[in-house]
Amino acid sequence: MESVDSKRLNEIATHWTQVRLALQGNGPAASQAQGELFERYHGAMRRYLQAALHDPSAVDDLMQEFAVALVSGGFRHVRPERGRFRDYVKGVLFHLVRKHRRAEQRRVGRRVLDIDLTDPESFATACDEQFRQSWRDELLERTWEALAAREPTYFTVLDCRAHHPDMTSDEMVASLKPQLGKPLTAAGVRQTLHRARKCFVNLLLQQVARSLEFPTPAAIQEELRELELTKFVLAPRKS
């Protein structure tokens, strides 16, 4: 595994203060914190709702309902010692989906008998997995976006490797030269790939840490395991 050392992880500041301000504060600072908190979970929530409902209009409605709950004090009793804020988000989404489905059933005058992912009471494990996958995909997408913004060359090289894992270094040179528009060598590509992987790991750890109220090394490692992200911080084979 890449060096996921305590010093590096401890340097990532906790965001629980911001969470508490968003949920319990008042005034402009609280409003800003609420907007930032909503933005942090926005992508994962939308992914989950889209997979559960397959109805863009319903997704927009429930996203709006979640936002209203956030700004109107619906989360004011959340405490860090009672669990991760992500688990509260998941619980609220399950409730909103269930309420939407029941209202839809009443509207059409029938009861849906099939068990599916939109009924967490009867299929809780599958619903939990669906939300976990949505959150995992969101963290990875944010990491790729952060890499592209910070180090475009690293992004291009690592993206090439991700899409073509069996390419040799010489083949990567041929593929990347038109994209990067500069002279390349096989040795240079290998070195850039190594640096890009390290940068990706650091950015991924930051994304995971920002999703935790108390991002201790142990908590981050546990989150990596739970979301099946550990493989992304494993030392890769040489190109």
Please tell me the predicted confidence (pLDDT) of residue 187. 96
- Average confidence (pLDDT) over 27-54: 87
Lowest model confidence (mean pLDDT) among 69-78, 122-131, 214-223: 122-131
Q: 1 lies in a domain?
A: no
Please tell me the predicted confidence (pLDDT) of residue 62. 93
Domain count along the chain: 1
pLDDT tens readout for residues 165-198: 999 999 999 999 999 998 999 999 999 999 999 9
Q: pTM of the prediction? A: 0.70
Note down the domain range covering 71: 6-233
Average pLDDT of the chain to the nearest whole number: 80
Question: Position 108: which residue type?
Answer: V
Percent of the chain with pLDDT over 70: 79
Residue 34, CA distances (Å) to 72, 73, 75, 76, 87 in order: 10, 11, 11, 12, 17
Q: 238 lies in a domain?
A: no
Q: 142 lies in a domain?
A: yes
Q: 173 lies in a domain?
A: yes
How many Å apart are CA 12 and CA 208, to the nearest integer? 10
Q: 135 lies in a domain?
A: yes
- Average confidence (pLDDT) over 80-97: 76
Q: Tokens at residue 73, please?
A: 């004090």
24: three-class secondary structure by DSSP: helix
